[in-house]
Amino acid sequence: FLGSGSVIHGMHHEQEMPRMGGLKKYLPVTYKAMLMGWLAICGIPIWAGFFSKDEILWKTFSTEIFGGGWILWVVGFITAGMTAFYMTRLMGLTFWGEERFRRVHAGGEADEAHAAAHDKGLAPHDAARAAADDRPHHQPGEHVGAHDPGDPLDARAIPHPHFEPHESPRSMTLPLIVLAVGSVVVGWIGGGRMDRHFARADGWKESQLLRAMA
């Protein structure tokens, strides 16, 4: 979720993934952090998600609830697969492939003209003529002031005339880096005394569950 917020910030508040693409070179820190999260949530070995998902599936398969654990295992396996699918789709549409945001913003002015023509009940091919008719016409010799690119009423004013994605500030990327490192390191915590603490916690949770079901 933090990575998504960083992407939205870097894309000037754009939130439609089909309007993105190819952002890994513009948001390198955000991309690497989300890549770590993607590998973890897909359950790839050495990342923390592998250890959590693997243990959950193992526990569900070995349980006797509902007459056999294979039903819960299938549900968990399908759910994990759906999670991996939509996260892979997110990474592909956002960071890989064609830089679709350039095509979208290049056609922004034409889209506005078509929308204006549609509001007037005109055919799409009349959009350019309708947009031209809406612009002010000056008489010969009439003094015309300098164009103000910041005038919101000017049809030529575009919010981001030179649109370029950018990396988020350190205040946003630093938490991403910490979580990305955690997605790898946390999965390897388990040696010595820490391992005994985790085993004790697992035993306590299992005893409480059995007591509640008794």
Sign of the CA dihedral 150, 151, 152, 155? negative
Predicted confidence at residue 125, as pLDDT, reads 52
pTM given for the model: 0.58
Q: Which residues of the chain are under the pLDDT cut of 70?
A: 66-68, 104-163, 187-214
Span 154-193, pLDDT tens digits = 434 334 445 688 899 999 999 999 988 887 777 666 444 4
CA 138 to centroid of chain Cα atoms: 48
Span 104-120, pLDDT tens digits = 655 554 455 554 555 55
Q: Residues for the chain: how many in total?
A: 214
Which distant-in-sequence residues (6+ apart) come within 8 Å of 33 by Cβ?
A: 3, 173, 176, 177, 179, 180
**Hey, where are the domains in the chain?**
2-125+165-213
